[in-house]
Amino acid sequence: MSDSFDVAVIGLGAMGSAAVAHLASRGCRVVGLEAHYPAHALSSSHGDSRLIRLGYFEDPSYVPLLRRAYQNWRMLERQVRETLLTVTGVLEMGRPDSTIVSGARAACELHGLPFQILDPDQVQARYPVFALDDDDVGLFEPEGGYLRPERAVMAHLKVAGQAGAVLRFGEAVAAIEPDDAGVTIVSAFERLRARTVIVATGPWIAQLVPQLRGIAQPIRQVVAWYQPADAFVTLPERMPVFLRDEGAAGSYFGFPSIGTDGFKVGKHAHFHEPIDPNLPNPPVNDTDTALLDGFAHRRLPGAAGVRAGSTTCRYTMLPGEDFLMDLHPSEKRVIVASPCSGHGFKFASVAGEILADLATQGGTALPIELFSFAALEQKRRTSRVD
């Protein structure tokens, strides 16, 4: 048996990297084990950009965590002297009574967040890239923007490493064996001891937490980049990040031109297509690109030029499309972290703090009631996982 640690973190994607950073910064003896390498292409944390916004249409109770997430991202930027979060504002478009527009408005009003409602002419004048229907509106929130996921994962790992965390890559954990005194973590190379373990294995979460089989469902996600016909209108200074509610046809998200490939779009949950996380992602096909091309040409007609690239990624969906961050109900030395459902990245900076609190104090002052096993069980009974 090799070294003994206060906390072992399994999976060093968005959540695990943040957890090791927070734990090591508090002086814990922490080891992080990652099966592959940081932000690799089979994880959920690659692809250049992730939205961040405050007026959360999904549920206003996320807003206090989002405020903390913004603070923590800015603190991380200072620690690594790098820009990770760029504010462009976020434009949320659709019918006034659509889930996204009405939900964002309710969250902004409840929490006193600044926002503006723009009619189609006002949107056209300010952001000529977007095409709205006559009865659409745009809800603009000035604090929305985007994060750089690969850089953010690396930044957390850098902070963790500098604070003394032991980080191992290319080491998949095969089993966790909790007992009264701690947990044994078994990989092909070694058996480690830790007082507590955090399982943050994203799409693979059900392999080490079998209670989540059939509940945490990995699905395939596709995004595409378009080289705009007019580059100027898609620069971050002229185009905010956006969400578009298409009613029964689902919702889309997108980013301005950050890199050389142009602006990026995706449809939330894409075709709700379950995948086996142990197999390579099925490649992008014509049906995928037809969906995204159609959206880009319909809703960003002045900008949608050539499709410059596309890629697959993975969501891990939970009932109610919420998160899970809690002590395991029967194994108190095991902490389970599954903040995805397609919208978890922006929370990684605060998830790291929460997971460090759970591991060191057994609880947290941050509001996470929505993410408990008990809440998950309730949602499982009332909602469909797709």
Ligand X SMILES: Cc1cc2nc3c(=O)[nH]c(=O)nc-3n(C[C@H](O)[C@H](O)[C@H](O)COP(=O)(O)OP(=O)(O)OC[C@H]3O[C@@H](n4cnc5c(N)ncnc54)[C@H](O)[C@@H]3O)c2cc1C
Contacts with ligand X by CB under 6 A lie at: 10-16, 33-36, 40, 43-45, 47, 50-51, 172-173, 200-204, 221, 223, 253, 266, 313-315, 339-340, 342-346
- Residue 62 has what DSSP assignment? G
Q: How far is the CB of 190 from ligand X (least distance, A)?
A: 13
Judge contact between 301 and 148, C-beta under 8 A.
no
Q: Helix, strand, coil: what percent of the chain each, to 5?
A: 35, 30, 40
Q: How far is the CB of 104 from ligand X (least distance, A)?
A: 14
**Choice between 134 and 210, CB closer to ligand X:** 210
Q: How far is the CB of 268 from ligand X (least distance, A)?
A: 8
**Choice between 230 and 356, CB closer to ligand X:** 356
Q: How far is the CB of 254 from ligand X (least distance, A)?
A: 9
The closest residue (CB) to ligand X is 13
- Residue 270 has what DSSP assignment? T
Q: Where are the alpha helices (DSSP H) in 138-247?
A: 149-162, 205-208
**Choice between 175 and 374, CB closer to ligand X:** 175
193: Cβ–Cβ under 8 A, 6 or more apart, which residues?
1, 3, 4, 5, 182, 183, 184, 185
Q: How far is the CB of 207 from ligand X (least distance, A)?
A: 6
Name the residue among 145, 117, 125 with its Cα closest to residue 50.
145
Angle subtended at Cα 293 by Cα 322 and Cα 121, rounded to the nearest 5 degrees: 80
Extract the tokens encoding 135: 């009865």
Q: What are phi and psi of 342, to 5 degrees?
A: 80, 5
**Choice between 37 and 232, CB closer to ligand X:** 37
Q: How far is the CB of 168 from ligand X (least distance, A)?
A: 9
**Choice between 185 and 303, CB closer to ligand X:** 185
**Choice between 67 and 122, CB closer to ligand X:** 67
User: How far apart, in whole angstroms, are the C-alpha atoms of residue 168 and residue 238?
Assistant: 42
